[in-house]
Amino acid sequence: MPYSIQLIRKNDQITNEWSGGLTTQLAIYPEDADYAKRNFTWRISSAIVEVEESVFTPLPDIQRLLMVIDGELTLKHEGHHQVHLQPYEQDRFCGGWTTRSLGKVRDFNLMLAEGCDGELEAIAIERGDLHVIDSPNNSDGRQITEAFFCNHGPIHLSIDSQEVIEVEEGDLILINRERLEPSISIKLFNKSEVEANVIRARVIFDK
């Protein structure tokens, strides 16, 4: 297969307290990397902010993408820009900036070390609908990881109409693609009675 799959169930994720609330590490690469040591290539997490105002931990040389899941959040980047985010809106900024946040929210975070690139996308799928993603290969031969976080589900995910995986609410699935392997088609199908919401993170990096 031109890919490998890792399904990280909600019950297997680790949640820790921080000064402003709770944070859950959904995935980190390499798998033996330690967030506290800042030796990761990329990291995906979700946090619950329980205080009205907080200052982000400085993360020099780390690019950050933050998407609000629940609530509203204002981010003030000292000497740079300010943005107000509603659910499923996002901001990209440097972790080394002095950033102050205003608002109690639940958010989704993608952290990228130097030389790594990525993007976030919020996907809404009506009941009975199918969402198709064509994931092309990367012409410069770098590694690609497609990550799907089921914020409200469940959903069924298939790859090239072959493998079908049921992803429950709170689960994260990683599809890891090696260098210059063929494009794949990823299908997300909502069999539930309500709208499903999925956050997609696409990461491109050197292995």
pLDDT at 51 (0 to 100): 94
Strand, coil or helix: 12: helix
What is the CATH T-level fold of the domain 116-205, as seen in this structure?
A: Jelly Rolls (2.60.120)
Task: Tell me the domain boundaries of the chain.
Answer: 9-112, 116-205
Strand, coil or helix: 36: helix
In CATH, the number for domain 9-112 is 2.60.120.10
CB-count exposure of residue 164 (10 Å: 0-12, 13-18, 19+):
exposed
pLDDT in tens, 110-162: 999 999 999 999 999 999 999 999 988 776 778 999 999 999 989 999 999 88
pLDDT at 27 (0 to 100): 98
> What are the counts of helices (DSSP H) followed by strands (DSSP E) for the chain?
0, 19
pLDDT in tens, 168-200: 999 999 999 876 678 899 999 998 889 999 999
The reply to whether 116-205 shares the fold of 9-112 is yes
pLDDT at 20 (0 to 100): 83
Round the average pLDDT of the chain to a whole number and report it. 94
Write down the residue that tokens 């740079």 correspond to: 80
pTM of the complete model: 0.95
